[in-house]
Chain A
Amino acid sequence: MLIPEWIAEPGLNHFLVVSAILFSLGIMAVISRRNLIMILMGVELILNSANLNIVAFSRYGTLSLDGHMIALFVIIIAAAEAAVALAIALNIYNRFGSVDVQQVSDLKN
């Protein structure tokens, strides 16, 4: 075959590389966007990349069903975090009139 083996058979490293790229994109969203909702989406991306790592290790490594349990708990806590973060965003919008995090600097002044 013309296709080398490391391309033809995706293994643990392929999933890890995808999750590393997702993590860096999430960091990019968190530190470069100024909208609070965009930052929230970046945090979700970071949580998902960590989850992909855990599930990949539970398939290829020795972390069998425990990895699935950890992934489930991460998903649950991400749901709670999203609900609380939306409530905080609504309060910020009510007080400051926008969700631009650069304008939320009352504690700094």
Chain B
Amino acid sequence: MELSAFLFYFFALLIIGSAAIMVFSKNIVHSAFALMFTLAGLAAFYALLYAGFVAVTQLLVYVGGILVIVLFGVMLTTRGYFEKIKTRTVHLLPAALFSMAIAIILITVFLSTEWILAPLEEEVFTVQGIGELLMTDYMLPFQVVGVLLLLAIIGAVLMATRVAGEEEPPSASG
């Protein structure tokens, strides 16, 4: 068995196993750390698929940013000791049946479709192509997504700094 196949199965086990731990763990802190392993394994998958820039972005944004945001959310929205945070799980059997049905349908569709495959090309370096596309074909989405990020951050800060019981921000005129 080749090295890439071995790596694929190793990271597939890591991703699915830690995602299952994330979903079924009672302790929400354990869930957050299991999510970290899932996201890092997905970054390794992107590297296996020759998408180096996407892999690095996944590591930077997801593991470095979103996971920290999630951990802050856990810490800011709970009382008491951090290690003892337990969460509830409801409707376990119908939810399990529903998601199993979704998985079976998706896998059946994926395996029974004849995909149009291109011949594999040994493309090692994609960063230059991505940069050129960002400055030519994807110029407008690139700018729009920058404005969207700015708006989202301003909105998040405005919403998060509003204190309960004080609906109106204090007027500047005084």
Interface residues of A (CB under 8 A from B): 3, 7-10, 12-18, 20-29, 31-38, 40-42, 44-45, 48, 51-52, 55-56, 58-62, 64-69, 71-73, 75-84, 86-91, 93-95, 98-100, 102
Known contacts A33-B89, A71-B54; A89 and B110 CB within 8 A of each other: no
Known contacts A10-B4, A59-B49, A75-B61; A90 and B103 CB within 8 A of each other: no
Q: Do B49 and A56 touch (CB < 8 A)?
A: yes
Q: Do A79 and B159 touch (CB < 8 A)?
A: no
B interface residues, tally (CB under 8 Å): 82
Contacting residue for A79 out of B91, B110, B149, CB 8 A: B149
Chain B, 1-44, contact with A by CB distance < 8 Å: what is the 0/1 string? 11011001100100110011011000010011001001100100
> Could you list 7 examples of A-B contacts with CB < 8 Å?
A10-B8, A18-B15, A28-B95, A75-B54, A80-B153, A82-B70, A89-B73
Q: Do A72 and B87 touch (CB < 8 A)?
A: no
CB distance from A96 to the nearest CB of B (A): 10
Known: A90-B159, A99-B77. 14 other contacts (CB 8 A): A10-B9, A12-B117, A28-B96, A29-B23, A34-B90, A37-B32, A37-B74, A40-B70, A55-B51, A68-B53, A77-B145, A83-B152, A88-B159, A90-B160
Provide the bound-state CA to CA distance between A56 and B48, in Å. Answer: 10
Known contacts A42-B23, A61-B118; A31 and B1 CB within 8 A of each other: no
Q: In chain B between 100 and 151, which residues have their CB closer than 8 angstroms to a CB of chain A?
A: 100, 102-103, 106-107, 110-111, 115-118, 120, 126, 129-130, 133-134, 138, 141, 145, 148-149
Q: Do A87 and B155 touch (CB < 8 A)?
A: yes
Chain B, 40-76, contact with A by CB distance < 8 Å: what is the 0/1 string? 0010011001110110011001100110011011101
